[in-house]
């Protein structure tokens, strides 16, 4: 797949998948990348492989998506779709309209350069505005390659990946289909963990990245996981993240429960979160520094089991991300600032 995911067009790269539709392991990807530095042996033109066009691919995929939705009937539902000028710009409107919804589509004029530009799941502002202007029941935002989904309720309030995961996992649990626990990431809001715990649902955290969520799901033979960004894995329905399929699973939960999106998202109380980026000039294991270890332990003691601390080096920038979650936003800000100052001093 050629994709920049949720990023601008100039970040396009090549993404490889395994034969069963899942992402490759890190070591295999590194091995593929290493071949780029090796001399390339070319073959004669008549020995090249063949490219085959599947003329009805879109129709097949539309039917597949609808088939995951358990006879979902969306008649009477007015929905706004933001397709991020990307992969879902034709498919998503077809899926939701064929299921009976009244569909208003934005972000559906791709020109090769405007993908993810001030639209889609990374920029939901226009979706919020359109939902309110059109008096829609809800809005759905995808990213450029269609594997992320976020929603907006009828009041214009954003429903992120943690909240959507809570909805589909709780629905599966209530129907006896969960078959285990739920996997989030280090960045998943503590409110998700606490809300699932209240329902007796086990929760585990993976490293950031949907491939690592999939890894933990596979290790535990569980079915549901996701990220705050909107990557949802519903392995009962698909082998990888799919924004359209994930959105349909949320709508099935709304239908079966008779509870609207606004009411559902209020059932998971998000913890206030403060994130401070500390610039670093050199590589080091942040959590090995004694001053940082002491500061983190002291902060965690203050929070007890009603808060969370995370220090994570950025994978793309020379930064250490200092994150604190707690019930009181003022306390969250204070503790994050104190911890960031310790980290900054240690990295100086």
List residues with catalytic annotation. Answer: 5
Residue owning tokens 């009976």: 100
Phi and psi at residue 59, to the nearest 5°:
-65, -40
Rounded Cα–Cα distance for residues 237 and 234 (Å): 6
Please name the residues in contact with 253: beta carbons below 8 A apart, sequence gap of 6 or more. 167, 168, 170, 171, 264
> In terms of residues, how long is the chain?
348
Rounded Cα–Cα distance for residues 336 and 186 (Å): 16
Task: Please say whether the beta carbons of 188 and 228 come within 8 A.
Answer: yes
Long-range contacts of range 118-122, CB-CB < 8 Å, 24 or more positions apart?
119/82, 119/84, 119/85, 120/6, 120/82, 120/83, 120/84, 120/85, 120/86, 120/144, 121/6, 121/82, 121/84, 121/148, 121/149, 121/150, 121/229, 121/230, 121/243, 122/6
């Amino acid at each position: 797949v050629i994709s920049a995911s949720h990023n601008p067009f100039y970040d396009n790269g090549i993404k490889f998948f395994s034969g069963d539709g899942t992402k490759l392991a890190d070591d295999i990807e590194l091995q593929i990348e290493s071949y780029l530095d090796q001399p390339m042996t070319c073959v004669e033109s008549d020995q090249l492989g063949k490219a085959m066009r599947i003329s009805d691919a879109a129709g097949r995929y539309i039917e597949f998506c609808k088939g995951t939705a358990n006879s979902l009937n969306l008649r009477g539902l007015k929905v706004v779709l933001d397709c991020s000028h990307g992969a879902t710009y034709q498919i998503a409107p077809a899926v939701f309209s064929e299921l009976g919804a009244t569909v208003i589509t934005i972000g559906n004029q791709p020109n090769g350069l405007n993908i993810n530009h001030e639209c889609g799941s990374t920029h939901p502002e226009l979706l919020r505005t359109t939902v309110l202007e059109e008096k829609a029941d809800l809005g759905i935002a995808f990213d450029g390659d269609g594997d992320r989904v976020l929603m907006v309720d009828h009041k214009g309030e954003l429903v992120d990946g943690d909240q959507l995961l809570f909805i589909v996992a709780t629905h599966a649990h209530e129907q006896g289909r969960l078959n285990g626990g739920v996997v989030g990431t280090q960045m998943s809001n503590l409110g998700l963990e606490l809300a699932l715990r209240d329902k007796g649902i086990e929760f585990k955290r993976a490293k950031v990245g949907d491939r690592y969520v999939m890894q933990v799901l596979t290790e535990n033979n569980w079915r549901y996981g996701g990220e705050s960004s909107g990557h949802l894995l519903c392995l009962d329905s698909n082998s990888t993240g799919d924004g359209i399929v994930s959105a349909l699973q949320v709508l099935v939960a709304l239908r079966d429960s008779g509870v609207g999106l606004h009411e559902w998202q209020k059932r998971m109380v998000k913890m206030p979160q403060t994130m401070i980026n500390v610039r670093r000039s050199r590589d080091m294991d942040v959590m090995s520094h004694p001053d940082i270890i002491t500061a983190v332990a002291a902060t965690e003691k203050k929070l007890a089991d009603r808060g969370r601390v995370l220090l994570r080096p950025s994978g793309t920038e020379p930064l250490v991300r200092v994150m604190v979650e707690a019930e009181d936003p003022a306390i969250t800000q204070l503790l994050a600032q104190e911890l960031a100052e310790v980290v900054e001093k240690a990295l100086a």
